[in-house]
């Protein structure tokens, strides 16, 4: 009997709330425009309402204007599985910097879409500290999703982030569709995640436009313009000796333009004994404009030559396809494949490549790399 009543109640609540929308405007929860008043409490209150809402869609609305947010973690799990976070204004970080590694984080959430908005991380004071070579914190990620699934991020603009703009960590099914032409939308890092789609975005940054960390599979990157920045990088992998690391597999990167970036398509692993793999990677339809290292595999990665492990990389790179890649290199060597002596790269494929340096064919360099090439090959293949 009791269970029947519960069933009836469930049915009733299902019918009653089956197509309702509830809306939460942060102004109604005490948020103030102008950037002088911290709006954290207000957004958390709005979040709690949306998160616990039984309606079919819960809208959180940030109207236009500037809202100061000192740092916030939106925690799930939520009752509501369709939270629509629409941001018409700017979320602004406080001035200065702290030791925190995150600014706005969503943890253990499911079925969230973020639409629009400007995230202003106000990183310049921290960058100045780093330029002065003082002891400064590492910086905060502007927007992070962790342990989450079914996430959509649309037309978001992130400026002046202290560190990463967007980090996707331990997530499944993430759709990131950027603004076609927004200035300073940058630095996306994906790791330990599956089924992530990044499309239509313009990235300018001081570091990697997109970096792909350990444990990533089924990643699709399409229609991205990158530069200035350090390119699209798989890795770095194998940094922490003694730690087990997930491999990277099934990554497609296509219809990409690099503009004056330091690297184009890069795979980088430390020369350490960490074991792992990179496999099943496709890079195709890529245009390089004055890129320092258009195609590079570097298995002795060690920035600034500090604390280099000086070992042969234990990361096995295989089945990487480069197809229809053309444009200009800013250095004589446009293709550099520098692999591990103990785990040579295998199954690399190149076809229809045309990369020039000062209007002459560029050069290619291979070390411990094997595979096949076909079609037009400028520079000639060294595989
Ligand atoms: C967003 O803000 C603009 C002004 O910046 C305003 O014209 C527009 O109506 C707002 N959109 C919504 C959905 O409120
Ligand atoms: C989310 O909100 C935006 C703007 O308010 C609206 O255009 C969109 O349809 C909403 N999505 C859903 C699923 O309700
Ligand atoms: C590879 O990734 C794509 C999405 O990027 C996915 O649709 C496909 O199922 C994946 N294939 C395998 C074998 O994992």
How confident is the model over 40-63, as pLDDT tens digits? Answer: 999 999 999 999 999 999 999 999
pLDDT tier, 132 (very low <50, low <70, confident <90, very high otherwise): confident
* Domain end residue (candidates: 116, 143, 170): 170
Does residue 8 carry a pLDDT above 90? Answer: no
For residue 257, the tally of other CB atoms under 10 A from its CB is 18
Regarding whether 217 and 133 lie in a shared domain, the answer is no
Is 300 domain-assigned?
Answer: yes
Contact present, 161 and 186 (Cβ < 8 Å): yes
pLDDT tier, 304 (very low <50, low <70, confident <90, very high otherwise): confident
Cα distance between residue 370 and residue 383, in whole Å? 5
Regarding whether 247 and 152 lie in a shared domain, the answer is no
Regarding whether 376 and 272 lie in a shared domain, the answer is yes
Is 193 domain-assigned?
Answer: no
CATH number at residue 33: 2.160.20.10
Q: Confirm or reject: Cβ of 57 under 6 Å from ligand 2.
A: yes
Rounded to 10 degrees, the C-alpha dihedral 21/24/28/33 comes to -130
Is 233 domain-assigned?
Answer: yes
Does residue 19 carry a pLDDT above 90? Answer: no
CA 112, 216, 202: angle at the middle one, nearest 5? 65
* Domain end residue (candidates: 170, 195, 217): 170
Which pLDDT does position 133 carry in this prediction? 81
Is 183 domain-assigned?
Answer: no
Regarding whether 266 and 369 lie in a shared domain, the answer is yes
Instruction: State the distance from the centre of ligand 3 to the C-alpha of 317, rounded, in angstroms.
Output: 18
Which pLDDT does position 184 carry in this prediction? 52
pTM check: above 0.75: yes
- Tokens describing residue 358: 């000062």
Instruction: State the distance from the centre of ligand 3 to the C-alpha of 218, rounded, in angstroms.
Output: 5
Residue with tokens 């290292």: 293
- Calculate the average pLDDT of the chain: 92
Regarding whether 232 and 97 lie in a shared domain, the answer is no
pLDDT tier, 367 (very low <50, low <70, confident <90, very high otherwise): very high
Is 137 domain-assigned?
Answer: yes
Q: Which of 23, 64, 66 to mutate to test the pocket of ligand 1 (most atoms within 8 A of CB)?
A: 64
Q: Report CA Rg, the chain.
A: 23
**Distance (Å) of CA 131 to CA 125, 136, 373:** 10, 10, 44
Is 270 domain-assigned?
Answer: yes
In tens, the pLDDT along 168-216 reads 999 999 999 976 445 555 589 999 999 999 999 888 888 889 999 999 9
Considering the candidates 189, 230, 304, 310, report the single residue annotated as catalytic.
Answer: 230
Is 249 domain-assigned?
Answer: yes
Atom of ligand 2 minimally distant from the CA of 61:
5
Q: Which of 59, 63, 153, 175 to mutate to test the pocket of ligand 2 (most atoms within 8 A of CB)?
A: 59
Q: Of 33-37, 45-49, 226-230, 378-382, which range is least confident?
A: 226-230
Q: Whose CA is nearest to atom 9 of ligand 3?
A: 218
For residue 203, the tally of other CB atoms under 10 A from its CB is 25
Regarding whether 112 and 52 lie in a shared domain, the answer is yes
Regarding whether 251 and 104 lie in a shared domain, the answer is no
Instruction: State the distance from the centre of ligand 1 to the C-alpha of 89, rounded, in angstroms.
Output: 8
Instruction: State the distance from the centre of ligand 3 to the C-alpha of 316, rounded, in angstroms.
Output: 20
Q: Whose CA is nearest to atom 7 of ligand 3?
A: 218
- Considering every ligand atom shown, identify the ligand nearest to the alpha carbon of residue 220 and give its number: 3
Q: Whose CA is nearest to atom 4 of ligand 1?
A: 64
Q: How many domains does the structure of the chain reveal? A: 2
Residue with more model confidence, 7 or 327: 327
* Domain end residue (candidates: 110, 140, 170): 170
Regarding whether 356 and 244 lie in a shared domain, the answer is yes
Regarding whether 242 and 370 lie in a shared domain, the answer is yes
Residue with tokens 């950027």: 178
Regarding whether 266 and 379 lie in a shared domain, the answer is yes
Instruction: Provide the sign of the torsion angle of the four alpha carbons 172, 22, 114, 143, taken in this order.
Output: negative
Regarding whether 129 and 276 lie in a shared domain, the answer is no
8, burial (CB in 10 Å: exposed 0-12, middle 13-18, buried 19+) = exposed
Q: Whose CA is nearest to atom 6 of ligand 1?
A: 64
Is 7 domain-assigned?
Answer: no
Q: Confirm or reject: Cβ of 88 under 6 Å from ligand 1.
A: yes
- Tokens describing residue 282: 């496709």
Percentage of the chain exceeding pLDDT 90: 81
Q: Is 285 a catalytic residue?
A: no
Does residue 109 carry a pLDDT above 70? Answer: yes
Regarding whether 350 and 247 lie in a shared domain, the answer is yes
Which pLDDT does position 207 carry in this prediction? 83
Cα distance between residue 333 and residue 298, in whole Å? 13
Structural domain boundaries, residue 64: 18-158+165-170
In tens, the pLDDT along 244-263 reads 899 999 999 999 999 999 99
Instruction: Provide the sign of the torsion angle of the four alpha carbons 12, 14, 19, 23, taken in this order.
Output: positive
Q: Confirm or reject: Cβ of 374 under 6 Å from ligand 1.
A: no
Rounded to 10 degrees, the C-alpha dihedral 205/208/212/218 comes to 60
Ligand 3 proximal residues by C-beta, below 6 Å: 218-220, 250, 252
Mean pLDDT, rounded, for 313-318: 97
Question: 242, 228, 229: which is closest to 270 by C-alpha?
Answer: 242
pLDDT tier, 131 (very low <50, low <70, confident <90, very high otherwise): confident
């Amino acid at each position: 009997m009791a269970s029947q009543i519960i069933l009836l109640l469930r049915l009733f609540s299902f019918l009653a709330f089956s197509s309702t929308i509830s809306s939460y405007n942060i102004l109604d929860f005490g948020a103030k425009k102008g950037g002088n008043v911290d709006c954290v409490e207000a957004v958390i209150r709005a979040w709690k309402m949306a998160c616990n809402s039984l309606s079919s869609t819960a809208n959180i609305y940030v109207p236009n204007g500037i809202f100061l947010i000192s740092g916030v973690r939106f925690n799930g799990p939520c009752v509501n599985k369709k939270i629509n976070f629409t941001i018409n204004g700017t979320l602004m970080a406080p001035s200065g910097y702290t030791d925190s590694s995150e600014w706005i984080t969503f943890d253990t959430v499911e079925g969230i879409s973020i639409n629009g908005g400007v995230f202003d991380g106000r990183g310049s004071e921290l960058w100045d500290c780093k330029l002065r070579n003082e002891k400064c914190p590492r910086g905060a990620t502007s927007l992070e999703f962790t342990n989450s699934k079914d996430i959509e991020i649309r037309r978001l603009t992130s400026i002046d982030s202290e560190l990463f703009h967007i980090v996707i960590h331990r997530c499944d099914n993430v759709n990131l569709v950027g603004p076609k032409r927004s200035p300073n939308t940058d630095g996306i890092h994906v790791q330990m995640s599956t089924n992530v789609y990044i499309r239509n975005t313009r990235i300018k940054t001081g570091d990697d436009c997109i970096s792909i960390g350990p444990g990533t599979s089924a990643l699709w990157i399409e229609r991205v313009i990158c530069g200035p920045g350090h390119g699209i990088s798989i890795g770095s992998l194998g940094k922490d000796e003694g730690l087990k690391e997930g491999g990277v597999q099934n990554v497609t990167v296509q219809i990409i333009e690099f503009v004056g970036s330091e690297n184009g398509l890069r795979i980088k692993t430390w020369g350490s004994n960490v074991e792992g793999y990179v496999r099943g990677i496709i890079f195709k339809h890529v245009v390089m404009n004055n890129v320092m290292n258009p195609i590079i595999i570097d298995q002795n990665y060690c920035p600034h030559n500090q604390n280099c492990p000086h070992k042969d990389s234990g990361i096995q790179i295989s089945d990487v396809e480069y197809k229809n890649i053309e444009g200009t290199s800013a250095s004589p060597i446009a293709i550099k494949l520098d692999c591990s002596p103990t785990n040579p790269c295998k199954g690399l494929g190149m076809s229809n490549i045309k990369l020039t340096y000062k209007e002459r064919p560029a050069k290619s360099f291979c070390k411990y790399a094997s595979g096949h090439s076909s079609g037009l090959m400028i520079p000639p293949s060294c595989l």
